[in-house]
């Protein structure tokens, strides 16, 4: 933010190279450089890589919400916010002498070339599943070369939302060959876990009940891989529908909603669901 008493200082001209994407990125980088200059924005100057990291996560969630809403204008805005957060984090790291946006761009460019030998090399890939299998194999080779975790399940951040992480773990297990031959096998596993949950509930064993609930949720997340469905997105959709229905029930039942019987709630639920 600028001092109300000072005159605004325009951004110095950024030479154009004629490629729209590059020109737009060069302008954004120039703005971030200006914000991080000694006489730039006090808030931006105070940030560190650690303090800005949560903003990257927040902007990513806002981007996903915009994409799922089907709002292109909102998606453009949120994509820009996410891009800005990433580039600002890189600029802060550069000021700290750690790495730069150029380092990050070179690293991911080299990785993309290395992991797409069917595009940039002489390998072949007959379909999407073959591409994913090769991708995971190349990643495992890279980890072995670096003497890091070479498990097929490596590389899934523990900080990811649990349902999303379960889907990614499941996808990696499937790519490694641990898979049912048909979706029916995965669906049967969900039914098996539901049965075990019922038995744990009947036994009144709280510790076992928690474990079986976790197994059921994980089996459901794994099932999504067989139908090419994202369980995290499916859950967001379910929550959106539930919230809309619940608010409709509250509106119908009025001030006495808290004292209403379960039967009254369920009748209102049926009407709210039918009205969608």
Q: Give a three-class secondary structure readout of the chain.
A: CCCCCCCCCCCCCCCCCCCHHHHHHHHHHHHHHHHCCCCCCHHHHHCCHHHHHHHHHHHHHHHHHHHHHCCHHHHHHHHHHHHHHHHHHHHHHHHCCCCCHHHHHHHHHHHHHHHCHHHHCCCCCCCHHHHHHHHHHHHHHHHHHCCCCCCCCCCCCCCCCHHHHHHHHHHHHHHCCCCCCCHHHHHHHHHHHHHHHHHHHHHCCHHHHHHHHHHHHHHHHHHHHHCCCCHHHHHHHHHHHHHHHHHHHHHHHHHHHHHCCHHHHHHHHHHHHHCC
Given 1.10.287.1080, 3.40.50.720, 3.40.50.300, 3.30.360.10, which CATH number is that of 155-229?
Answer: 1.10.287.1080
The CATH code of domain 20-115 reads 1.10.287.1080
Question: Could you read off the pLDDT tens digit of each residue along the chain, which spans 276 residues?
Answer: 344 555 567 788 888 898 999 999 999 999 999 999 999 999 999 999 999 999 999 999 999 999 989 999 999 999 999 999 999 999 999 999 999 999 999 999 999 999 999 999 988 888 888 888 888 788 778 877 887 787 888 888 888 889 999 999 999 898 888 999 999 999 999 999 999 999 999 999 999 999 999 999 999 999 999 999 999 989 999 999 999 999 999 999 999 999 999 999 999 999 999 998
């Amino acid at each position: 933010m600028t001092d109300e008493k000072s005159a605004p200082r325009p951004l110095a001209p950024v030479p154009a190279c004629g490629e729209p994407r590059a020109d737009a990125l060069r302008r954004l980088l120039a703005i971030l450089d200006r914000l991080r200059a000694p006489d730039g924005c006090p808030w931006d100057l105070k940030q560190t890589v650690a303090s800005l990291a949560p903003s990257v996560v927040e902007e990513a969630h806002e981007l996903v919400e915009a994409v799922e809403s089907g709002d292109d204008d909102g998606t453009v805005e949120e994509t820009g916010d996410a891009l800005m957060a990433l580039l600002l984090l890189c600029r802060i790291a550069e000021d700290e002498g750690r790495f730069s946006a150029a380092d990050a761009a070179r690293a991911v460019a080299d990785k993309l070339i290395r992991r797409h030998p069917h595009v940039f090399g002489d390998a072949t890939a007959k379909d999407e599943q073959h591409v994913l299998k090769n991708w995971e194999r190349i990643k495992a080779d890279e980890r072995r070369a670096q003497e890091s975790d070479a498990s097929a399940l490596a590389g899934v951040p523990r900080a990811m939302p649990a349902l999303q992480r379960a889907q990614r773990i499941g996808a990696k297990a499937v790519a490694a060959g641990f898979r049912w031959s048909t979706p029916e096998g995965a669906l049967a596993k969900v039914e098996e876990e539901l049965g075990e949950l019922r038995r744990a509930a009947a036994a009144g064993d709280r510790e076992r009940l928690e474990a079986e609930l976790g197994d059921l949720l994980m089996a459901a997340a794994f099932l999504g891989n067989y139908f090419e469905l994202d369980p995290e997105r499916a859950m967001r959709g379910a929550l959106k529908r539930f919230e809309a229905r619940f608010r409709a029930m509250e509106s119908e039942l009025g001030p006495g909603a808290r004292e209403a019987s379960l039967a009254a709630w369920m009748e209102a639920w049926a009407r709210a669901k039918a009205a969608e």
